[in-house]
Amino acid sequence: MCLLNLFSALYVLFSFASLLIFTVGVQITDLRVPAFVENGTRPGALLDCEYSLRPDELNKEAGLVVKWFFNNSAAPVYQWIPGKKPQDLGILKGRLRLDYASSEHRATKHRALYILNPTTELSGEYKCQVSTFDDEDFMVKKMLVFATGKPFDLSLNKYGSESVNISCKALGVYPEPKMTLFTESGTKTRAPVKGASVETLARGAVYDIMASTVLPEAELTTSTVIVCELKIPATNVTRRQTVSYNPGSMESLSSSSGTHKEMLHVRYLIVGFLVALLLREAAPAPC
């Protein structure tokens, strides 16, 4: 008697479970968003939203709509209703390839965002939301469009009579980077330069960064290589510049050589003036 009750209870449970399975509506099965994209290096970035539908949700009357949102805004940046033209909106207006097709299926054809020439201001959270009249699902992922800026500059300049000013500068980086100076000696052991100061400046939506330090020349040998490393923390992107310490070639960069050149200019000026004066004296006086 008791056993029979158990069986009927299990039967009810199973039927309820199978009912649930069959009524599960639209479900996002995968959201593929590139985590990092380098600014200005790609013709496009594809953000795709895969979903499954119940057979009856494939009907025209089911009210299927695909929307994409940026940074949790209330207004979508993209909307597509099967059978209609996809629409680019807000920050993505004019920035999408609207004829991109993820598939040839009527219910999934224009589900994806194909962002043309992604740039840093399109970094943020992308939410795909798929809904029908009875059901809805969404998923969110981040995309970071980073920029390493202009090729950066590492220079050594004589500082006083016995020191060297090492300075490294990168302009127009996004997001906020880190910069480190290292010295590498003959054995290739790398040591961070002690006491280097790093200054970061926000310039509009990008960052400029400079690391510099003054080292006594006694701490450097001709086999020393100076390395400047620029890192974009959220990514594993690293850019490096190296320069070898060479006391001979550095002389030409030092400020003393600058004044030397100016002195030469003054000398040429004086000589030129004297020549002009002589020529004038030699020429016959105008009537």
Residues engaged in binding ligand NAG (CB under 6 A): 36, 39-40, 71, 117, 119-121, 123-125, 147, 157, 165, 167, 172, 174, 206, 212, 214, 235-236
CB of 169 to ligand NAG, least distance (A): 7
- Residue partners of 79: CB distance under 8 A and separation at least 6: 65, 66, 67, 68, 86, 87, 89
Cα–Cα separations (whole angstroms), residue 148 to 34, 85, 116, 223: 18, 37, 19, 29
Q: Which lies closer to ligand NAG via its Cβ, residue 205 or residue 264?
A: 205
**Contact call for residues 149 and 168 (beta carbons, < 8 A):** no
Q: Which lies closer to ligand NAG via its Cβ, residue 39 or residue 108?
A: 39
CB of 174 to ligand NAG, least distance (A): 5
Q: Which lies closer to ligand NAG via its Cβ, residue 157 or residue 241?
A: 157
Q: Which lies closer to ligand NAG via its Cβ, residue 44 or residue 172?
A: 172
Q: Which lies closer to ligand NAG via its Cβ, residue 26 or residue 215?
A: 215
CB of 248 to ligand NAG, least distance (A): 20
CB of 148 to ligand NAG, least distance (A): 8
CB of 31 to ligand NAG, least distance (A): 16
